[in-house]
Structure 1
Amino acid sequence: MTMPLNPETFRALLRQQAATVAVVTAPGAPPVGFTATSFTSVSLRPLLVSFCLNRSSSSWPTMAQAEHVGVHLLGEGQHEAARTFATSGIDRFAAHADWRPGPYEVPLLNSPIASLVGRVAERIPAGDHVIVLVEALRGQHTGDSAPLLYHKGQYAAVRPSP
């Protein structure tokens, strides 16, 4: 039976979807970074990905001006990085010192299972969020680690089916 939706019910419904955990970073003074479960591929021609960010986020003012960003797909052992970049009111880069400056001054986390640096192609307002389209310019992956997932409000990992 279906029922009318409100924000709480909608959130509970969407928690049924498992999502890859990504950390998005952008250069700034100071740099910003946040944990996102809204990352997805968009196009192969051109190479486009997207993520969403709430306009009330402390990362939004920097992200609204950023020309380039980094997207880092976390592996199953990187719960602490995911939690750090999801925590409000802290200097996330001081709390997670395992990063380095990359191309276009984009902060790059060390040891994700995959990462890319891209040029912000478009920002599309969508309700209380903004969809950010990014043209991928550079990337790398390890190829042999399981991704960190977020499901039902908890971090999880992929386990092969028997």
Structure 2
Amino acid sequence: MTCADLTVTGDQLRAAVGTFPSGVTIVTTRSGGEDVGLTVSAFSSLSLEPAMVVLSVDNGSTSLPHLTVGAPVGVSVLAEGQGGLARQFAIRGIDRFAGVDVLRRGRGVALIDGAAAWFAGEIVNAFPGGDHTILTVSVAECGTRDDARPLLYQRGRTYDWVADAS
């Protein structure tokens, strides 16, 4: 039997992939002089030379049309205690930046103040990936907050870091 012989539903895949914990990011850009941002958990390093990261955005996202090749982009890796921001940037139809402290880097892109890490750069490529679009980002600047622990995402929920008890 091959994988082609099997039928996996979206719910089955979501349940299985959801067991793998990941970090939570806020991805931002500037479009028409305005900040645009969304919550993204599908984020990873891609290349050290040249410095690149990759992220995946749902094709139904209202922010996706602003994330075009050549656009400036910021990625803020949320820190523990910033779960409210993850939820805020996932809600449609609101001012996602309301009450949010941001820092500006690169070409004026907003980064979340207090994030565990941040990346600023430019979208280099966009590829179709099923119901998502895969974006590669050339990183021009990045930084970390040494005392921060990352916010974690697993099975549809965010969790603050839990130290190993052993």
Q: Same fold (TM over 0.5)?
A: yes
Q: CA distance change for structure 1 residues 51 and 17 in 2, over 3 Å: closer, same or farther?
A: same
More helix, by proportion? 1
Tell me which of 73, 76, 79 is aligned to 1:72. Answer: 76
Per-residue Cα deviation, 1:83-112 (whole angstroms, up to 9, x for no partner): 111111212112x43124432121222111
Matched-pair contact (CA < 8 Å) for 2:26–2:78: yes
Residue 142 in 1 paired to residue 145 in 2?
Answer: yes
Q: What is the TM-score when the length of structure 1 is the normalising length?
A: 0.91
Q: What is the TM-score when the length of structure 2 is the normalising length?
A: 0.89
Matched-pair contact (CA < 8 Å) for 2:69–2:125: no
Matched to 1:46, the amino acid is P
Matched to 1:141, the amino acid is T
Q: Give 1:24's aligned residue.
A: 27
Per-residue Cα deviation, 1:37-95 (whole angstroms, up to 9, x for no partner): 1010011111110100112210011112552100000011101111111111212112x
Matched-pair contact (CA < 8 Å) for 1:27–1:66: no
Matched to 2:105, the amino acid is G
Q: Give 1:8's aligned residue.
A: 11
Q: Secondary structure at the match of 1:70?
A: strand
Q: CA distance change for structure 1 residues 10 and 125 in 2, over 3 Å: closer, same or farther?
A: same
Percent identity (aligned): 32
Q: Secondary structure at the match of 1:8?
A: helix
Matched to 2:87, the amino acid is R
Distance in 2, Cα, partners of 1:145 & 1:42: 23
The two structures, once aligned, show a CA RMSD in angstroms of 1.6
**Pairwise mapping of residues 4-153 of structure 1 onto structure 2 (< 5 A)?**
4-29=7-32, 30-64=34-68, 67-94=71-98, 96-153=99-156
Q: What 5-or-longer segments of structure 2 have no aligned partner? A: 1-5
Matched-pair contact (CA < 8 Å) for 1:19–1:37: yes
Matched to 2:22, the amino acid is A
Matched-pair contact (CA < 8 Å) for 1:26–1:66: no
Per-residue Cα deviation, 1:93-142 (whole angstroms, up to 9, x for no partner): 12x43124432121222111110101211111111211100111011111
Q: What 5-or-longer segments of structure 1 have no aligned partner? A: none
